[in-house]
Structure 1
């Protein structure tokens, strides 16, 4: 499996993969995906199989804001390349590729890039059932966030501080 930065040409396929992994109300639409790719393609890691097909990806903007805010999901202009915190908006792996450690490899790519760029750390929000998974990756649960993204009432904010 190869990991590379996403390009604008990947937008349609990334949107398809996202729609398989998230409920429609939570999943980024094509216009949002294109906007993200225009603003921060170097914070968008794609995993490809040996035929060059996209099997998963991870993405998120960089900001000086310490907490992940709902507006960040749809307003890519909030990205600040000089920001201190790498936000993670989503991790998507196609169902046939799950359970092989690919999620961890994508996370490690994002984390290593953030370290090399001298960020303070990485922030994400997740549902209750994923807290333990992210804790295994070194993230600390900061409790329930104020997020209502996708109509979900109980997101946990997780932080990995370097």
Structure 2
């Protein structure tokens, strides 16, 4: 398996994995992914097995301390030298779930954010995933203000 950041040529593979991994109301659209790749392709971490995209983690960097819904829609809010790495999505191909792929990728992203001098990482997740993220050192901070996809989200933070 290989981990690397995205290029514009990865758009179709990313869009397909996003659609397979999230309900339609939560998944980024093809156009949103294209905009994000234009603004911050280096903040899409991809786990490949041969020529197949197995898992990905993506999100922008900002000085804002909380993940807000407008960040999903406006890729121009990315600030490369920002304090916080936001994570919008952690997704693994359905047939590769529970095999350690997401964990491998998350550990890589955490190390990259540390090397880049970030204050930490912020993400939102559904209640059932809180224990998963806690195993990586994230701390639950309560219900998020996000209503992305009409879902109740919990904000999680890993401070370095």
| Fold-level similarity (TM above 0.5) | yes
SS in 2 for 1:132: helix
1:136 Cα offset (Å): 1.1
What does residue 79 of structure 1 align with? 78
What does residue 8 of structure 2 align with? 8
- TM-score norm. by structure 1 comes to 0.97
Q: CA RMSD in A?
A: 0.7
What does residue 94 of structure 1 align with? 93
Instruction: List 4+ stretches of structure 1 deviating above 4 A.
Output: none
CA distance in 1, matches of 2:111, 2:35: 24
Instruction: Please list every run of 5 or more consecutive structure 2 residues that lacks an aligned counterpart in the other structure.
Output: none
1:74 Cα offset (Å): 1.4
What does residue 25 of structure 1 align with? 25
Q: Is the 8 A contact 2:54 2:101 kept in 1?
A: no
CA distance in 2, matches of 1:132, 1:34: 32
What does residue 131 of structure 1 align with? 130
Q: How many residues align?
A: 160
Superimposed CA distance per residue, residues 28-50 of structure 1 (whole angstroms, 9 cap, x where no aligned partner): 0110001111111111101111x
Instruction: Please list every run of 5 or more consecutive structure 1 residues that lacks an aligned counterpart in the other structure.
Output: none
2:66 maps to 1:67: yes
Q: Is the 8 A contact 2:57 2:87 kept in 1?
A: yes
SS in 2 for 1:40: helix
SS in 2 for 1:91: strand
Q: Is the 8 A contact 2:85 2:118 kept in 1?
A: yes
- TM-score norm. by structure 2 comes to 0.98
CA distance in 2, matches of 1:26, 1:125: 12
1:65 Cα offset (Å): 0.1
1:99 Cα offset (Å): 1.5
SS in 2 for 1:122: strand
